[in-house]
Homo-oligomer: A and B are copies of this chain.
Amino acid sequence: MNKDVGNLQSFRKSIKLVDATLRDGGIVNSFYFPEGFAKALYKANLEAGVDIMEFGYKVSKKLFDVNKFGEWKFCDEENIRAVVGENRTDMKIAVMSDVGRVDLKTEVIPKKDSVIDIFRIAAYCHQVPAAIEMVEFCHKMGYFTTCNIMAISKNQESDLIRALEILAQSPVDVIYIVDSFGSLYPEEIRRICDMYGEVAYKYNKQLGIHAHNNQQLAFANTIEACAKGVDYLDATVCGMGRGAGNCYLEAMLGFLKNPKYRMEPVLKFVREHMTPLKASGVVWGYDVPYLLTGLNNVHPYNAIDFIKAGRDDYENFIQEILAVD
C-alpha cells in the first residue's frame, strides 16, 4: 500500500461511488423496471453526488432475446440518451459487458459518438486474456475501462496473481475485486486488497470493489476495502441485486465523508420508487438460503430457486448445495 488512505474523520477525493442499481438490480426483474424509474434514479444519483451510474449490460441481441428482457439488458445508445440527454453533468455513465457476450466490432460505437463513458468488462479469472482483448478494444474506442474479475473466492491466489499481473499491464483503468458469492469475510477482503494493491499500484491502476450481501457483509466489506485504499465502490439502492443483493447505496452515502455526497435524494427515491417496486413483488435481499450459499462459497442460483419454490427445508438445502459444488 503506497497511498494515503485517510481515516474515518477525513475523506479522499479519489473515491468514486458507483450506483449499479439498474444493472445488478436488473438481474432480479429481468431489467423490467417501471416507466420513469431510470430517469428518477438518474436524477437522484445526480443530486446525491454519485460519481458513476451503471445503466445495465451491453450484450449482443444475437445471444439474448430482446423480448425476454427489459431495455437495460442491452443499453442501446438511444435508450440511455432518452434518460440522460447529452449527460452534461459530472456523473459518468457506465455499462457492463461479460466476456464473449457482445460483438464489439458491430455493437460498440466510438466514445465520441456515445454518451457512455465507461465499459466494465466482467470476466472469470481464466477469461482475463479475453477480457484484456475487450479492454484494449474499448480503450482504443476512447472509453474508460474496468475489469471485474468475478467469483474470486473460487480461485487459487497464485492463479489470481498471475491474471492480475497481465491485466495490470493492459490499458485497463480499474481492477475490481468481486465477491460474487458473498462468501468473503472482512479479514479476507483486507488480505485481498493487499494482494490486488501490490500488483495494481505497481502499474498505476486503481482498484474497485463489488460486494454481495449473502452474509450481511456487503457494506462492511466495502468500507473495509475503502479503508485499504480501494477507490471504486459499488452499491445499489436498497441493496437491490441478484439474490441477497449488494451494498446499500444509502449506507455508503451516509458513511462517506466527502460533503458532496447527499443522502436525502436517494431516500426520496427509496420512498417513491423502491418501496412500490418491493410492494409489486420484486424480491431480493438477505435470507437464510443466501447465508448458506455464501457460507459454503457456491453460486446463489440454487438459493434463488429454493426461495422461488417456496421451500424452507434448509437442512436438505445444505446437503443439496454441498452435493452440486
A264 partner residues in chain B, CB cutoff 8 A: 314-315, 318
**B187 pairs with A250, CB closer than 8 A:** no
Q: Given A264-B318, A267-B315, answer yes or no on A291-B250 (Cβ-Cβ < 8 Å).
A: yes
- Complex: A220 Cα to B213 Cα, angstroms: 11
Q: Given A216-B248, A271-B312, A318-B264, answer yes or no on A185-B288 (Cβ-Cβ < 8 Å).
A: no
- Complex: A260 Cα to B220 Cα, angstroms: 28
Is A8 in the interface zone, CB < 8 Å from B? yes
Interface of A, secondary structure class, is: helix
Is A206 in the interface zone, CB < 8 Å from B? no
- Complex: A312 Cα to B219 Cα, angstroms: 23
Please tell me which one of the listed residues B8, B313, B315 contacts residue A188 in the complex, with CB atoms under 8 A apart.
B8
Closest residue on chain B to residue A220 by CB atoms: B220
Task: Scan A42-69; emit 1 where CB is below 8 A from any B CB, else 0.
Answer: 0000000000000000000000000000
Is A307 in the interface zone, CB < 8 Å from B? no
Is A192 in the interface zone, CB < 8 Å from B? no
Task: Scan A228-269; emit 1 where CB is below 8 A from any B CB, else 0.
Answer: 000000000000000000001011001100000001100110
Is A270 in the interface zone, CB < 8 Å from B? yes
Is A215 in the interface zone, CB < 8 Å from B? yes
Q: How far is the CB of A313 from chain B (nearest CB, A)?
A: 8
A213 partner residues in chain B, CB cutoff 8 A: 216
Q: Given A215-B251, A291-B250, A295-B254, answer yes or no on A186-B220 (Cβ-Cβ < 8 Å).
A: yes
Closest residue on chain B to residue A227 by CB atoms: B187
A275 partner residues in chain B, CB cutoff 8 A: 312
- From A227, A251, A292, residue with most partner B Cβ within 10 Å: A251
- Complex: A216 Cα to B227 Cα, angstroms: 18
Is A321 in the interface zone, CB < 8 Å from B? no
A251 partner residues in chain B, CB cutoff 8 A: 215-216, 291, 295
- Complex: A187 Cα to B8 Cα, angstroms: 8
- From A221, A255, A268, A288, residue with most partner B Cβ within 10 Å: A288
Q: How far is the CB of A43 from chain B (nearest CB, A)?
A: 15
The contact sample of 24 A-B pairs, CB cut-off 8 A, is A186-B220, A186-B223, A186-B224, A187-B227, A213-B216, A215-B219, A215-B251, A216-B218, A216-B251, A217-B219, A217-B220, A220-B220, A248-B291, A250-B288, A251-B291, A254-B291, A263-B318, A264-B315, A267-B288, A268-B315, A271-B312, A271-B313, A271-B314, A275-B312
